[in-house]
Amino acid sequence: MPVHPSMITSSLMLILPWPLFVVGLVVGIGADRHARLMRALTMGASWFALVCAILAAVTYGVGMTHSTTYILVHLPERLGVLAVNADVNSLTVLLLLLVALVGMVVARYAYTYLVGDTHEGRFHRWLSFTLGSFLMMISSGNMWVFLIFWIVTSLCLHKLLAFYRERPVAVLAARKKYLLHRIADASLLVAFVLIAHTLHTSQFAGIGPALAGTHGSLSEPLQIASGLLVVSAVLKSAQFPFHGWLIQVMEAPTPVSALLHAGIIYTGAFLILRMVPIMSRAMWTGDALIVMGLVSIAAASLMMMTTTNIKGSLAYSTCAQVGFMLMECGLGLYSLVLLHIVSHSVYKAHAFLSSGSVVDHFRVPALPTVPRAATMGKAIASLIIAAPVVIGMRLVFGVPWLQQTPLIVMGIILTVAISHLLLQALNMGKIGMKGFLWMMISLSALISAAYFGLDILFTTIFGAMLSPAQGSAGVVHDGILGAIIFVFVGLLVVQQMLPRILHHPFWQAIYVHLYNDLYIDMFFTRLVRKFGQGNVAEPLPATREDDLWEVIS
């Protein structure tokens, strides 16, 4: 096949993960015996992926957007084709860049972090393999290849999550994830079959054009398919009440948590983004996503507030953040979802990798205490100050708002966030509060400016591809939008009023239940343990002394 310059981007995207595969599959045999080699090669391969991703972004930027297919297998039963090709578009290029960057940082971290571990080589093997297949999944333009690497990534990740096989909790968490992901796989498989059958295409790029001819609501099989896509996405995103395993994966080394929280956990949201042509036309699935996301936001945020260990706190926060992304998916704000994925990925990767630094915050010199008085009135005052700041910035940036209800909702969420910042000043006593308040107001203005600026930037770049959903309407939808506002204002009020309601028996009970993860995970644990007793995939936990001695021998 002649290589045309316009295909360079596509080729770069496809060769980018191969060194990682080679390290994982070939060099990785007997990895523990050549750990040094493994760590060097993993780092090299992840650098290669990053360099390719940067080059691909550049070549894409200059307009080399032609895609090319390398292997083509026709599938029976009208399932379309299985083809190895890359979807060259702004979404895949950006995400490849993101994941390659985080992957490099994680590999670099693991390079020193795991030195001396009994199974150091094995760790790098599965890290390479996981990263490689995840990158392959992102760039894939064919649904069947996507599905294959969707499954492979999950299986490889399983090896990393259960890296310390002698730790019962690690094995248990990995097993919970394993079961949920297999349901997600099945659901995705059926969805893809339905889509391929109905639309006669197995390429992501073919979905939009195939649907372009139709108007009105989707056909029944596609309605079902979009429902199944939602199921897959929600299960992949560790949403409440299936979030338990996500919280427990600190039983695996820190870089695994970072990779998971900064990349793989967005698989569900990424799937929705790839399926925008379908999703944006299936109204009820949007509402379902909002509800699922919102429940996770509320539950995980409240649980996070009670968590006492740093990694648990970060994990709950991820659960809520992914819920937020799904909610945005449901609202049809796809370019905002992309912005959220990118921002949250780098933020959470950094937060996890630097979680050991939390102690430094407690070593700083003690400040003079300032009397604080948190009242409901102040919460209202903060909202009143925040609203004009947000509205003003919105006008400055010329973001249309009254026309679109989802944007109004987002504006309110931003207002609530900013009022929380203002409350930091308002809750102080009168002394020193005034200067501080002005500082916080200016900070709020900056934050709003950044928010709308990025909003516009992402809409401009990705809007064409991720065009927002047609406005949904109806009482149910309005009710759901109301619920969003209720949840966010509710979170603000609960946090503001905590010192006062803390000792009320009702809130005491709420506290205990939240701190215990609402018992849901305990329930799943027992379920999985019973279920798993028959087919133990991993050796049973050895005693702890043995694990110590394994290090020595």
Partner 1 sequence: MNVVETYESQVMDKVEAACQHIAPLWPLKNFVAVNPYFGLSNQPFWQAHETLERITGTGLCMPRAYYHEQIARGRITRSDLAAALQQLGILWDVSSFEQVLARDTPASATPLNLVTNVLGGLDGEDWSNFVVERISRYCAAYFDEGQALWSMPWRDTSLYSGWLAFTCFDKSPRMMGVRGMRHAMAALPDTAQGAIVWALRELDMPPAAIDDYLYAALLSIGGWAGWTRYLRWQAELQGDHDDSIRDLLAIRLAWDALLYKLCYSETLETHWRQSLAAVTKPIGHTDVGFHIDAVLQTTFEVGYQRQLTMSLIGAQGAAEHKGRADVQAVFCIDVRSEVYRRALETVAPRVQTLGFAGFFGILMEYLPFGAVEAKGHLPILFNPSYRIGECLDSANAWEADKLIVQRHTRMRVAKAWKTFKTSASSTFAFVEAVGLLSAPKLISDSMGWTRPVSLPERMGLSVGVHERLGPVLTHGELGSKACVNGGLTGIPETDRPSVAEFVLRNMGMVRDFARLVLFVGHGSTTVNNPQATGLDCGACGGQSGEVSARIAAALLNDPLTRRGLVANGIEIPADTYFMAGLHDTTTDEVQLFNTDDVPSSHTADVTKMHRWLATAGQITRMERATFLGIGDVPIPTIHADMRRRTRDWAQVRPEWALAGNAAFIAAPRSRTVHRDLAGRAFLHEYNWHNDAHFDTLQLIMTAPMIVANWINMQYYGSVVDNHRFGSGNKVLHNVVGGSIGVLEGNGGDLRAGLALQSLHDGARWMHEPMRLNVIIEAPQRAIDDVIARHNRVRELVDNAWIHLFQIDEDGNMNRRGIDKQWRRN
We find the least distance from the C-beta atom of residue 118 to partner 1, in angstroms, to be 8
| Closest CB to partner 1 among residues 3, 540 | 540
Q: Which of 55, 295, 417, 483 binds partner 1 (CB under 8 A)?
A: 417
Using rule CB under 8 A, residue 353 touches partner 1:
yes
Q: With contacts defined by CB under 8 A, how many residues of the chain interact with partner 1?
A: 122
CB atoms within 10 A of CB 97: 19
Contact between residue 92 and residue 13 where contact means Cβ atoms under 8 Å apart: yes
Residue list 418-447, contact with partner 1 (CB under 8 A): 418, 420-421, 424-425, 435-436, 439-440, 443, 447
Helix (H, G, I), strand (E, B) or coil at 553: coil
382, two tokens: 């903060």
Neighbours of 429 (CB within 10 A): 10
Query: Taking the complex as a whole, how short is the minimal distance between the CB of residue 544 and partner 1, in angstroms?
Result: 5
Interface pick for partner 1 out of 40, 358, 465, 483 (rule CB under 8 A):
358
Q: Which is nearer to partner 1, 66 or 544 (CB)?
A: 544
User: Is residue 157 a contact partner of residue 260, using CB atoms and an 8 Å limit?
Assistant: yes
Using the minimum distance from each CB to partner 1, give the nearer residue, 84 or 443.
Answer: 443
Rounded CA-CA distance 45/43 in Å is: 5
**Backbone dihedral angles phi then psi of residue 521, each to the nearest 5 degrees:** -65, -35
- Torsion 28-32-33-39 (CA) sign: positive
Residue with Cβ nearer partner 1 (45 or 278): 45
d(CA 134, CA 99): 8
Residue (33 or 503) nearer to partner 1, CB: 503
Q: Does 308 bind partner 1 (CB under 8 A)?
A: yes
**Largest Cα–Cα distance of the chain, in whole Å?**
76
With CB under 8 A as the contact rule, the residue among 448, 472, 484, 528 that binds partner 1 is: 448
Query: Cβ–Cβ contacts within 10 Å for residue 423, how many?
Result: 23
Q: Which range binds partner 1 by CB under 8 A, 194-202, 210-218, 468-476, 519-527? A: 519-527
Beta bridge pairs of residue 140: 86
Q: Report 250-269 residues binding partner 1 (CB under 8 A).
A: 250-255
127 is an interface residue for partner 1 by CB under 8 A: no
With respect to partner 1, which residue has the nearer C-beta, 224 or 421? 421
> Least distance to partner 1 from the beta carbon of 267, Å?
18
Q: Which region, judged by CB under 8 A, interacts with partner 1, from 136-144, 228-236, 282-290, 352-360?
A: 352-360
214, 217, 309, 460: which one binds partner 1 (CB under 8 A): 309
| Separation between Cα atoms, residue 434 and residue 510, nearest integer Å | 36
Could you say which of 336, 399, 409, 481 contacts partner 1 (CB under 8 A)?
A: 336
CB 325 within 8 A of CB 343: no
4 or 529, CB closer to partner 1? 529
What is 26-84 written as a DSSP string? IITTTGGGGHHHHHHHHHHHHHHHHHHHHHHHHHHHTT-----EEEEEE-STT--EEEE
Q: How far is the CB of 38 from partner 1 (least distance, A)?
A: 14
Candidate list 223, 226, 232, 307; residue touching partner 1; CB under 8 A: 307
- Cα 120 from Cα 140, distance rounded (Å): 30
* Contact residue for partner 1 among 1, 3, 26, 359 (CB under 8 A): 359
Bridge partners of 173? none
Cis peptide before 241 (omega within 30 of 0): yes
Site for partner 1 in 482-511 (CB under 8 A): 488, 491-492, 494-495, 498, 502-503, 507-509, 511
Give the chain's end-to-end CA distance (angstroms, integer). 53
Question: Contact with partner 1 (CB under 8 A): which of 366, 402, 475, 540?
Answer: 366
CA distances from 335 to 34, 341, 410, 416 (A): 44, 10, 13, 22
Binding of partner 1 at residue 350 (CB under 8 A)? yes
Residues 377-416 that bind partner 1 (CB under 8 A): 413-414, 416
Cross-strand partners of 74? 81
Where does this chain touch partner 1 (CB under 8 A) — which range of 38-46, 153-161, 224-232, 336-344? Answer: 336-344
Give the distance from CA 397 to its chain's centroid.
28
The SS3 assignment for 394 reads helix
Q: Which parts of 523-552 interact with partner 1 (CB under 8 A)?
A: 523, 526, 544-545, 548-549, 551-552
CB of 428 to partner 1, least distance (A): 9
Q: Please identify, using beta-carbon distances, which residue of 149 and 334 lies nearer to partner 1.
A: 334
Q: Which of 106, 528, 110, 521 is nearest to 316 (CA)?
A: 521
**From CA 338, how far away is CA 462, in angstroms rounded?**
9
Least Cβ distance, residue 378 to partner 1 (angstroms): 14
Out of 60, 178, 451, 462, which residue is the one contacting partner 1 (CB under 8 A)? Answer: 451
Among 18, 148, 168, 179, binds partner 1 (CB under 8 A): 168
**What's the CA gap between 327 and 276, in Å, rounded?**
14
Q: How far is the CB of 417 from partner 1 (least distance, A)?
A: 3
CB of 312 to partner 1, least distance (A): 7
CB 54 within 8 A of CB 3: no
Three-state SS across 338-349? HHHHHHHHHHHH
Q: Shortest Cβ distance from residue 392 to partner 1 (Å)? A: 15
Token pair listed for 312: 């648990």
Is there binding between residue 232 and partner 1 (CB under 8 A)?
A: no
Interface with partner 1 (CB under 8 A), residue from 214, 217, 357, 460: 357
Task: Provide the residue type at 194 as one letter.
Answer: L
Residue (92 or 335) nearer to partner 1, CB: 335
Q: Which of 34, 182, 197, 513 binds partner 1 (CB under 8 A)?
A: 513
Q: Which residues from 171-230 bind partner 1, rule CB under 8 A?
A: 173
